[in-house]
Structure 1
């Protein structure tokens, strides 16, 4: 099952800071320019400032869960599709929940609307609206940046390994131990002993 397959994970805070910024910008862009869910009916001189705070919520929640996921990854050295999907769902669920509280308490100034029925209604519409878009984009960017980093890491490791292998040497020593010949293994074709002499064929 694909859920048990490994998913590339990046521990780079810079990468996740960038991902959080992109996702947050998309949220505020949709709210300000597309004005879904009747947000165009919200008339307030500080309307855009109120909307920008949704961006803050999205950004802070992502960074918080990134730090938790990083701790999990470094502790258990595992990150599969099941963990990745759980991360994205949890991130979006918490962000939508905080956005609901912010909307009713700060924007609408109606804390009495913090009821389970209204929350479930809000959650369903927000998840099917914003949530699915952010879910797909989060998976895409997280996979892209993690895969890119792993490719670079593998290339660097392979390069270092090749350089180290070129530097490996062996020492040839006769029974009298009077002379020692140092040979770079990566340059040797063959070594043949002839009586008291050693014939070495190598690349220069």
Structure 2
């Protein structure tokens, strides 16, 4: 029963991740109707500015998707190659699992190593140790080499804020919160920078009488 429950949780997690991924792709393919509907919610005088901000949102989210696609593909391919070299059964299945679960920050890497690790342990403790070392090296290369290069060019996120937001989202919303935390954080950061700072705070001036005014 314990193994069945673990398998069911893995299956549900994978299906939910795939569902969210498919919905995201469908939204990006036909984005313009949603864009126009969002812009129409703003006052007429602010719609051009809202359109500029939405363009920045799209740029930030596309940068995040590019980072996800490249880094997760690296994780999946290197997992398949490494597991094949170590002669662990079903390397393609576990490589695909590593690719899917890598979409979940932090915890995804831990969850992806458990099935091949247990399978390798049935063969020998040394093979299980080799699998653990393989996944550790893959995560180190992806986290310290590939991701910083991509994020530097695509998305600028403050590390402390990112960790705090992901921790909060993971605590309140579980794996779904971890999966959606980064794109939501990107949108929030752009909104704060463009609307709160540039359009409100940077235009706030003090009148000669000492009263604060906000110039349009």
Higher strand share: 1
User: Larger Cα Rg: Structure 1 or Structure 2?
Assistant: 1
The normalised TM-score by structure 1 is 0.37
Q: Structure 2 length normalisation: TM-score? A: 0.35
Of structures 1 and 2, the one with the larger relative CO (CA 8 A, separation 6+) is: 1
